[in-house]
């Protein structure tokens, strides 16, 4: 089974950033309000994520590392009902098969913490006591130490860290209520405090997108029936290179979608006669039953039940917001 985990790992674990994504999503699923991330050497040497979520009971620790044991999908139909971020029940198993992994946790209802370690193919069967506050710490060391072919594909430390930081930024933008810190080689890179007021949220957007974004952006806030769109669209005066500043969230999940991109670009061109791709941080909220997210675990795809209606809504909302500030 460890070997099949390793093969499966290729699908989920491409590089350090994919590990961070999976671990962060688990922390959020566990109801964490604060997550601290520590990485070394772009995440290749170490990724440590500590959260204050509900924790894992002792008897479930080893189980959490075994493939599919925890899958929340029972039938395909359940895909539509999946509210939490994780649903495949294989991320930890996959990650543990290509790293040296330690999982420590204390469940809310437990008066002590426990720890289990896995090294590549070897699971040390013993679950031993560990000092831990309520919550969970995942420590992933020496990623791909036992899969040299995969290791060869890793880029420079700076590049890997860039990907990893991007994952953290997306979560920071999608969950304003969560405190998140990120350290790289002992240096604090981000320290996002929970943001509840509009002002605090704008501050977080500023620390993710740079100081000029919001000043050179239009605020969007439109609600029609069950559809809601809010966020910011950069004006042509915002001059940072655009491709890296396009965040679109559907019910809190970041996605990339042709239809969405088209609607935004169309509205932008229509109002501003501007050929360049706009920068944006936008949030679309709609009835979860009318959208399929995460068709593939690592791609950020969506399928809208009524894509024409969503396209029109996006186009009209942005058109109106942009037209308001444009003479
Ligand atoms: P999935 O998230 O798809 O269920 P994972 O392999 O990512 O599969 O995680 C396996 C299980 O381990 C989760 O379902 C959850 O029960 C538990 N788990 C993992 N990380 C955490 C965490 N940070 N806090 C609490 N439980 C966790
Ligand atoms: Mg998961």
Three-class SS state of 295: coil
Q: For residue 21, is pLDDT > 90?
A: yes
Q: How far is the CA of 219 from the centre of ligand 2 (A)?
A: 33
Which residues, other chains included, contact 7 with Cβ-Cβ below 8 Å and sequence gap of 6+?
none
Fold classification of 2-192 (topology level) = Heat Shock Protein 90 (3.30.565)
What are the pLDDT digits (tens) for 83-140? 444 445 688 988 998 999 999 999 999 999 999 998 876 666 579 999 999 999 999 9
139 lines ligand 1 (CB under 6 A): no
Q: Does any ligand 1 atom lie closer than 6 A to the CB of residue 104? A: no
Q: What is the pLDDT of residue 74?
A: 44
CA atoms within 13 A on the CB side of 237: 9
Predicted-complex ipTM score: 0.99
pLDDT of 10 strictly over 60: no
Which among 68, 86, 99 is the best mutation to test ligand 1's pocket, defined by most ligand atoms within 8 Å of the CB?
A: 86
Which pLDDT does position 83 carry in this prediction? Answer: 45
Question: 22 Cβ partners below 8 Å, 6+ apart?
Answer: 12, 13, 86, 91, 92, 95
Model confidence band, residue 277 (pLDDT cutoffs 50, 70, 90): confident
pLDDT digits (tens, 9 = 90+) for 23-82: 999 999 999 999 999 999 999 999 999 999 999 999 999 889 886 544 444 444 444 444
Task: Inform me whether the pLDDT recorded for 243 exceeds 60.
Answer: no
Q: Does ligand 1 have an atom closer than 6 angstroms to the CB of 171?
A: no
Q: Under CATH, which architecture does the 201-325 domain have?
A: 2-Layer Sandwich (3.30)
Q: Is 30 in the pocket of ligand 1 (CB under 6 A)?
A: yes
Q: Is the pLDDT of residue 296 over 80?
A: no
Ligand 1 center–CA 13 separation, angstroms: 15
Does ligand 1 lie within 6 Å of residue 51's CB atom?
Answer: yes
| Adjacent-strand bridge partners of 231 | 220, 282
> What are the tokens at 182?
């990120």
pTM of this prediction? 0.89
Distance 26 CA to ligand 1 centre (A): 5
Q: Do domains 2-192 and 201-325 have the same CATH topology?
A: no
pLDDT in tens, 137-163: 999 999 999 999 889 999 999 999 999
What are the residue ranges spanned by the domains of the chain?
2-192, 201-325
The 3-state secondary structure of 42-106 reads HHCCEEEEEECCCCCCHHHHHHHCCCCCCCCCCCHHHHHHCCCCCCCCCHHHHHHHCCEEEEEEE
Mean pLDDT score across all residues of the chain: 87
């Amino acid at each position: 089974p460890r070997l099949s985990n390793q093969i499966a790992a290729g699908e989920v674990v491409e590089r350090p950033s994919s590990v961070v994504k999976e671990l962060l999503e688990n922390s959020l699923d566990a109801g964490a309000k604060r997550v601290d991330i520590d990485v070394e050497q772009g995440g290749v040497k170490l990724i440590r994520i500590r959260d204050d979520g509900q924790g894992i009971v002792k008897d479930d620790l080893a189980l959490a590392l075994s493939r599919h044991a925890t899958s929340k999908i029972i039938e395909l139909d359940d895909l539509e009902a999946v509210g939490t971020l994780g649903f495949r029940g294989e991320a930890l198993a996959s990650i543990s098969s290509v790293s040296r992994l330690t999982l420590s946790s204390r469940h809310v209802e437990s008066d002590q913490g426990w720890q289990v370690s896995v090294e590549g193919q070897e699971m040390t069967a013993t679950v031993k006591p560990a000092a831990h506050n309520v919550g969970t710490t995942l420590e992933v060391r020496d990623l791909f130490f036992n899969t040299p072919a995969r290791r060869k594909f890793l880029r420079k430390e700076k590049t890997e860290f860039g990907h990893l930081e991007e994952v953290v930024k997306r979560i920071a933008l999608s969950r304003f209520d969560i405190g998140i810190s990120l350290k790289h080689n002992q240096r604090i890179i981000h320290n996002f405090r929970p943001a509840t007021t509009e002002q605090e949220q704008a501050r977080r957007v500023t620390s993710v997108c740079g100081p000029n974004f919001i000043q050179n952006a239009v605020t969007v806030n439109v609600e029609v029936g069950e559809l809601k769109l809010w966020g910011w669209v950069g004006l042509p005066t915002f001059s940072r290179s655009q491709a890296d500043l396009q965040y679109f969230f559907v019910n809190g999940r970041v996605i990339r979608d042709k239809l969405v991109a088209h609607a935004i670009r169309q509205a932008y061109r229509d109002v501003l006669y501007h050929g360049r791709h706009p920068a944006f941080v936008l949030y679309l909220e709609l009835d979860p039953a009318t959208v399929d997210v995460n068709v593939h675990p690592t791609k950020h795809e969506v399928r809208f039940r009524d894509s024409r209606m969503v396209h029109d809504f996006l186009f009209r909302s942005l058109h109106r917001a942009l037209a308001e500030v444009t003479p």
